[in-house]
Amino acid sequence: MIDFNIQKIIPLCAEFGIEITPKIKERLNLYGNLLIEWNEKINLTAITEPEDVLFKHFYDCILFFKNVEVPNGAAVIDVGTGAGFPGLVLKIVREDLNVTLLDSLNKRITFLNDVINKLGLKNITAIHSRAEEGGKNKDHREKYDIACARAVASMPVLLEYCVPFVKSGGLFVAMKGPSVDEEIALCSNALKELKIEKPTIICETLTGDEQRAFAIFKKISQTPPKYPRNSGKIAKQPL
């Protein structure tokens, strides 16, 4: 078993009120080991050094709680979750959350279900679906308090994929890199069409000079029925 030295981030998380208990520490460590083990079979992450996994994956995702108010028992969907970032980490740290992990690649869903089972997590579901299909599905459309996505697509495209999942008054949180302002500048039409407010942008430093930006959008009212469009239209004619 690899030791991911979770204790290194315990005081950092405590600064914004997140307690990394022994149970959370154990689960994060097991998650890291399963990530490395499965990564030898399917492509999950290019980040494999334990120190990098700790800060660029785990701590990066936990910073979500520093910058986003997440109500107790909130319904959260992670769109294009990949290896489970940030949704699976959010669930490990906050067991009260009801989390849905959505990804278009079934191999990743198989991995996520293995992690969920081995960590003994409840009230978390991994779903094999394309985002634009999930956003039209009545079981998921406008059912979530918070939708989130980490480095999935350009912002106008990402908004159309993710906002339909969010309830009126809920939030969409995009985890982006340092070019977030340039991406936001392209979103004026998307904000209008998808009924969302201009975002709050909060920047954090992970390790060294690496930057993480949280773009937090509030949904004003229901998404018009025509959105999301099919993936071809979204790609060719972004809002």
Per-residue model confidence as pLDDT tens digits over 81-124: 999 999 999 999 999 999 999 999 999 999 999 999 999 999 99
Has residue 59 got a pLDDT over 90? yes
pTM over 0.85: yes
Task: Answer yes or no: CATH 3.40.50.150 is held by domain 70-236.
Answer: yes
Nearest-angstrom CA–CA distance, 20 and 46: 26
Listed by start position, the domains of the chain span 70-236
Q: How many CB atoms lie within 10 A of CB 239?
A: 20
Mean pLDDT, to the nearest integer, of 189-204? 95
pLDDT at position 228 is 96
pLDDT at position 178 is 83
Has residue 152 got a pLDDT over 80? no
Mean pLDDT, to the nearest integer, of 170-196? 93
Nearest-angstrom CA–CA distance, 158 and 10: 32
pLDDT at position 153 is 80
Has residue 149 got a pLDDT over 80? yes
Between 185 and 151, the higher pLDDT residue = 185
Mean pLDDT, to the nearest integer, of 29-45? 96
Nearest-angstrom CA–CA distance, 139 and 165: 10
Cβ-based burial of 196 (10 A; exposed 0-12, middle 13-18, buried ≥19):
buried
User: Predicted confidence band at 196 (pLDDT cuts at 50, 70, 90)?
Assistant: very high
